[in-house]
């Protein structure tokens, strides 16, 4: 197979634009045999934005060949080739127009896109952007956006794809061919057909054939539920002190690693708390080495005492870090082997039975995107050992497809499933049961509590990392929520139209039994159920339309909250005027759903005795799951509309543009502290809570009370420890507060503040050459600053990246920021924590406003009302401590290693002008703090960054 890899640089992307450079690379027999490149005289001026992007100027193309001459050179080289491009539709369009202008016939051969091939063949690749993909494969790509360099990089990527295809098992190639058979877009069907035919001609002995199952290549064998063999624990020293001394010697000899004082204190405190069956709250800042600080004593204690240790994190990232980095390191240090399990929420795992059904039936809602995602997952199955969604890079509709094939309890066949011994979720649960150390997340922790401990194995010792999120996650999981699409998707699973949905599939299956009276009766029942489905959908649409009107007209300015959406609290004593009109609509939804569920359950009971005869087992299982989902939706709508729990807060959320399809009904308990004490802290022997941000004013009181501990709690019940930072913040971080910066008072004050902010940020960015992260609390202000700052910095070659403007993906924005030579990154919400940008990539952190939650947010408002009833000051007891913890998280983005040095600018003068401002500054880990005029900031930064550490 011969390939012609093309790339064009053009004056723009419309059909009226012109080609200014071509790049062509010919591949034959898996190697590059020819290259062609040329600049092209476009016959028009090149826009400055294109020159900035490509580096191609009007002077460079002034004497270049005309398009007809270039096409004359290229055309013969395309003969008998498959055309290949990276996002090939762009280049293909320009090629066809170029050939037409030059008087040639259009290209009529096959066309392939390397983006699609990368997606299929490298399903875990984190980016398909040409430069980033090239970097991943170690391909040199020094001149992005120049056609010869782009074509060369694309050709090298194509060669990697061909190598990957050679490595795939034949059975996987056959599956890919089946998925794309009859699929015409970009000739993928033909491509895999040709590959399949060639491979089937080869007589090959496959050493991995034993891992093929039901037509899929797997990277795992059957899991076993045999009990773990006993270990000789005599190899462990009798005391932890002796064990720890041995371990320190190994860490020094094998890893060249010295334990830091703060980490050593943490290790001792964690072990003591486990031994004494008490709870521990320990604040350990960045650089302490928290993970090792709790893993070492926890593993020793667990193995020595035959106790299972559960570690819970807030983020999947930390779970993966523990699994991929920290645990393997400890495997090499412990004399006694130990087992670790990782268990996430069930929807993170692929259900092989559902996936097989979708692929075999070619059941695609969107033929192109769904078949690409299915192909991606078929290849992934030959790699993965966990079946965890986190390993996949899903784009576009990929996440929708995943939800249709992910594991869930209600549609699980358990041991009756033909895939049971291969099942990823049951494998993970089995590993969790036998593991000495189980890593999970806060969300799973409370899902297990709600399920009366039927998901996680029994445990008495719990380590909670990132524990400043514990109360928030508990509130969310002890509450209820219902999105418009949650109910809609369940209905569409049953019936979308005459051809889509499981009812249509079932009707088609029953229709094969001509003259069968039973099948005829079932089809009539299905027809009646269609009517209920459509009635529920109609009533649900009308209800959500009305709810959108309520939230959009009644909420405060959505631009002021971080998510930029409508939010409205619904109070029993102050219901919106139209609420009485909504209750009959809710009742219609409730009644029709009841009828639908009742009919579905009756039909399922009729099916049960004949499921083998009519091949209905898989349908019955999935139908059972759908019925339970609809039942949950039905109860949640009623719970919300009737406000059944007086100790909960209720509110509506909606987006600015999606209208009814963005409506979200929320309900959470106002105070979960008592529930946490009763269901968690009083039930477990020892819970260790750790985070970099647990104290306010050097005190644990706020977090302690949020979790239900009394202010005078005894130390034998809960001990609190604040560890000194390992970093020299006095020498590494300078905090600047521009004391003359305007405050925000009214709309006019915000305009002045934003104007001054843009100019100050521009001056600082020029001094630091970008390398700056700016944290906002207002989505609207971020967008205002983004446009103006970009214009100011553009002539100086400094880029501006904005969350929600350039991308909503935090990882992507962080990567773009780090890879650019000079960038300013503007972020809200998720950028306040969990972002790790060590080294010189980040020199300056700007905090625009103190991160107070809007007082009008329903949860904040309800908590403040509760505190007022207790004669407490809600601002000082809740709003300030919560903002301080968020503020500390934001500050922690700057100094990530002992060699980092930088500046933090706080543009909110309340930190020095108000009595509560000292709570923020005093909570920081000892940086140098100076107030000055705005005009002095840049000179002081230049002086500070020039000083020796």
pLDDT digits (tens, 9 = 90+) for 142-168: 898 999 999 999 999 999 999 999 999
Q: How many CB atoms lie within 10 A of CB 23?
A: 24
| pLDDT the model gives residue 512 | 75
pLDDT, average across residues 734-747: 89
| pLDDT the model gives residue 232 | 66
Distance CA 137, CA 359 (A): 30
pLDDT at 196 over 80: yes
Q: Tokens at residue 815, please?
A: 């990567």
Q: Give 316-340 pLDDT, tens digit per residue.
A: 888 888 988 899 989 888 878 889 9
254: buried, middle or exposed (CB in 10 Å: 19+, 13-18, 0-12)?
A: exposed
- pLDDT bracket for residue 211 (50, 70, 90): confident
- The SS3 call for residue 52 is helix
pLDDT at 84 over 80: yes
pLDDT at 19 over 90: yes
Distance CA 789, CA 798 (A): 10
pLDDT at 620 over 70: yes
- What is the phi-psi region of residue 853: left when phi exceeds 0, alpha when psi lies from -120 to 50, beta otherwise? beta
- The SS3 call for residue 345 is coil
Distance CA 328, CA 342 (A): 13
Q: Give 252-263 pLDDT, tens digit per residue.
A: 888 777 778 899
Between 410 and 369, residue with greater pLDDT: 369
| pLDDT the model gives residue 560 | 57
- Neighbouring residues of 226: CB distance < 8 A, sequence distance ≥ 6: none
- pLDDT bracket for residue 229 (50, 70, 90): low
Q: 132 to each of 127, 142, 144, 531, 763, how far by Cα in Å?
A: 6, 12, 10, 51, 31
Distance CA 907, CA 760 (A): 10
Phi and psi at residue 567, in whole multiples of 5°? Answer: -140, 130
| pLDDT the model gives residue 52 | 84
- pLDDT bracket for residue 499 (50, 70, 90): low
| pLDDT the model gives residue 563 | 61
pLDDT, average across residues 174-181: 91
pLDDT, average across residues 236-247: 89
| pLDDT the model gives residue 186 | 61
| pLDDT the model gives residue 886 | 95
The separation between the first and the last C-alpha atoms of the chain, rounded to the nearest angstrom, is 60
| pLDDT the model gives residue 584 | 95
Q: Give 772-813 pLDDT, tens digit per residue.
A: 999 999 888 999 999 999 999 988 889 999 998 887 778 888
pLDDT, average across residues 35-59: 92
The CA-based angle 232-238-241, given to 5 degrees, is 130
| pLDDT the model gives residue 881 | 95
pLDDT at 207 over 70: no
Beta partners for residue 932, in sequence order: 738
pLDDT at 622 over 60: yes
pTM: 0.87
- Neighbouring residues of 842: CB distance < 8 A, sequence distance ≥ 6: 771, 772, 773, 893, 894, 896, 900, 902
| pLDDT the model gives residue 948 | 41
| pLDDT the model gives residue 903 | 96
| pLDDT the model gives residue 482 | 94
Phi and psi at residue 388, in whole multiples of 5°? Answer: -90, 125
| pLDDT the model gives residue 336 | 82
pLDDT, average across residues 758-762: 96
| pLDDT the model gives residue 260 | 83
pLDDT at 54 over 60: yes
Q: Give 275-295 pLDDT, tens digit per residue.
A: 999 999 999 988 888 999 999
pLDDT at 387 over 90: yes
pLDDT at 610 over 70: yes
Phi and psi at residue 219, in whole multiples of 5°? Answer: -105, 15
| pLDDT the model gives residue 464 | 97
| pLDDT the model gives residue 559 | 55
Tell me if 707 sits within 8 A of 681, measured CB to CB.
yes
Strands, DSSP E only, in 484-595? 566-569
| pLDDT the model gives residue 657 | 82
Q: Which of 768, 889, 782 is nearest to 835 (CA)?
A: 889
pLDDT at 949 over 60: no
Q: Give 624-634 pLDDT, tens digit per residue.
A: 888 889 999 99
Q: Give 89-141 pLDDT, tens digit per residue.
A: 999 999 999 999 999 999 999 999 999 999 999 999 988 989 889 988 999 88
Distance CA 265, CA 284 (A): 10
pLDDT, average across residues 168-180: 92
3-state helix vs strand vs coil in the chain, percent to 5: 55, 15, 35
Between 30 and 281, residue with greater pLDDT: 281
Spatial strand order of the sheet with 718-722 comes to 340-342, 437-441, 309-313, 461-464, 686-691, 279-283, 718-722
On average, the pLDDT of the chain sits at 89
Q: Give 894-947 pLDDT, tens digit per residue.
A: 998 888 899 999 999 999 999 999 999 999 999 999 999 999 999 999 999 886
């Amino acid at each position: 197979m011969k390939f012609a890899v093309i790339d064009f640089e053009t004056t723009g992307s419309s059909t009226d634009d012109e080609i200014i450079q071509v790049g062509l690379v010919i591949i034959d027999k898996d190697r590059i045999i020819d290259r062609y490149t040329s600049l092209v005289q476009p016959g028009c001026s090149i826009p400055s934005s294109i020159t900035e992007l490509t580096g191609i100027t009007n002077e460079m193309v002034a004497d270049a060949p005309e398009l007809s001459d270039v096409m004359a050179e290229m055309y013969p080289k395309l003969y008998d080739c498959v055309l290949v491009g990276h996002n090939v539709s762009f280049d293909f369009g320009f090629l066809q127009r170029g050939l037409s202008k030059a008087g040639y016939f259009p290209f009529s051969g096959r066309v392939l896109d390397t983006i699609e091939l990368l997606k299929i063949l490298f399903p875990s690749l984190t980016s398909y952007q040409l430069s980033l993909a090239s970097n991943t494969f170690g391909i040199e790509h020094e001149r992005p956006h120049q056609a010869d360099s782009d074509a060369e990089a694309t050709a090298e990527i194509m060669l990697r794809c061909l190598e990957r295809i050679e490595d795939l098992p034949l059975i996987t190639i056959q599956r890919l061919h089946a998925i794309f058979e009859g699929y015409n877009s970009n000739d993928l069907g033909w491509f895999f057909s040709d590959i399949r035919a060639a491979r089937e001609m080869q007589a090959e002995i496959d050493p991995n054939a034993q891992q093929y199952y039901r037509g899929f290549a797997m990277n795992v064998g059957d899991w076993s539920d045999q009990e773990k063999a006993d270990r000789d624990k005599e190899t462990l020293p009798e005391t932890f002190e002796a064990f720890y001394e041995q371990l320190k010697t190994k860490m020094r000899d094998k890893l060249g690693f010295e334990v830091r004082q703060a980490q050593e204190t943490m290790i001792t405190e964690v072990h003591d708390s486990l031994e004494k069956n008490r709870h521990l709250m320990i604040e350990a800042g960045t650089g302490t080495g928290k993970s090792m600080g709790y893993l070492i004593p926890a593993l020793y204690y667990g193995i020595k005492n035959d106790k299972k240790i559960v570690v819970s994190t807030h983020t999947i990232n930390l779970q993966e870090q523990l699994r991929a980095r920290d645990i393997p390191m400890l495997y090499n240090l412990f004399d006694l082997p130990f087992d670790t399990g990782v268990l996430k929420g069930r929807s993170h795992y692929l259900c092989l039975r559902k996936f097989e059904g979708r692929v075999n039936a070619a059941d695609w809602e969107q033929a192109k995107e769904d078949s690409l995602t299915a192909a991606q997952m078929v290849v992934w199955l030959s790699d993965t050992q966990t079946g965890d969604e986190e390993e996949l890079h899903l784009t576009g509709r990929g996440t929708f497809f995943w939800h249709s094939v992910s594991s869930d309890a209600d549609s699980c066949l358990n041991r009756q499933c033909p895939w049971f011994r291969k099942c990823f979720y049951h494998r993970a649960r089995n590993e969790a049961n036998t593991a000495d150390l189980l890593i999970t997340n806060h969300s799973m922790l409370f899902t297990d509590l709600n399920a009366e401990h039927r998901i996680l194995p029994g445990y008495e010792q719990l380590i909670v990392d990132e524990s400043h999120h514990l109360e928030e996650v508990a509130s969310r999981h002890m509450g209820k929520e219902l999105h418009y699409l949650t109910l809609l998707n369940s209905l569409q699973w049953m019936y979308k139209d005459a051809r889509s949905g499981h009812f249509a599939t079932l009707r088609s299956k029953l229709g094969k039994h001509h003259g069968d009276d039973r099948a005829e009766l079932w089809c009539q029942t299905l027809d009646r159920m269609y009517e209920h489905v459509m009635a529920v959908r109609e009533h649900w649409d009308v209800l959500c339309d009305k709810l959108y009107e309520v939230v959009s007209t009644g909420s405060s300015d959505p631009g002021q909250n971080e998510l930029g959406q409508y939010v409205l609290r619904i109070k029993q004593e102050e219901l919106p005027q139209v609420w009485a009109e909504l209750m009959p609509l809710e009742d219609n939804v409730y009644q029709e759903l009841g009828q639908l569920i009742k009919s579905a359950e009756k039909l399922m009971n009729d099916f049960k005795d004949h499921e083998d005869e009519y091949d209905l087992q898989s349908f019955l299982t999935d139908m059972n799951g759908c019925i339970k989902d609809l039942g949950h939706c039905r109860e949640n709508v009623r719970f919300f509309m009737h406000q059944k729990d007086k100790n909960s807060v209720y509110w509506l959320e909606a987006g600015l543009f999606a209208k009814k399809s963005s409506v979200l009904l929320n309900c959470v308990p106002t105070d979960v502290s008592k529930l946490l004490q009763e269901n968690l802290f009083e039930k477990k022997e020892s819970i260790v809570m750790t985070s970099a941000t647990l104290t306010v004013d050097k005190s644990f009181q706020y977090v302690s009370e949020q979790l239900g501990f009394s202010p005078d709690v005894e130390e034998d019940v809960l001990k609190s420890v604040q560890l000194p930072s390992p970093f020299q913040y006095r020498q590494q971080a300078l905090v600047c507060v521009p004391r003359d910066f305007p405050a925000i008072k009214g709309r006019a004050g915000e305009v002045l503040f934003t104007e001054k902010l843009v100019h100050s940020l521009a001056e600082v960015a020029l001094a630091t050459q970008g390398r700056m992260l700016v944290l906002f609390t207002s989505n609207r202000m971020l967008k205002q600053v983004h446009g103006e700052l970009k214009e100011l910095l553009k002539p100086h070659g400094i880029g501006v990246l904005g969350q929600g403007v350039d991308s909503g993906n935090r990882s992507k924005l962080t990567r773009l920021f780090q890879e650019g030579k000079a960038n300013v990154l503007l972020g809200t919400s998720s950028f306040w924590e969990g972002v790790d940008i060590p080294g010189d990539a980040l020199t300056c952190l700007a905090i625009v406003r103190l991160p107070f939650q809007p007082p009008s947010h329903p949860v904040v408002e309800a908590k403040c009302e509760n505190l007022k009833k207790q004669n407490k000051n809600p601002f000082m007891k809740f709003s300030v401590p919560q903002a301080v913890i968020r503020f500390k998280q934001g500050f922690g983005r700057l100094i990530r290693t002992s060699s980092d040095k930088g500046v933090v600018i706080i543009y909110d003068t309340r930190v020095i002008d108000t009595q509560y401002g000292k709570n923020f500054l005093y909570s920081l880990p000892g940086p140098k703090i100076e107030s000055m005029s705005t005009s002095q900031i840049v000179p002081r930064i230049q002086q500070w960054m020039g000083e020796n550490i």
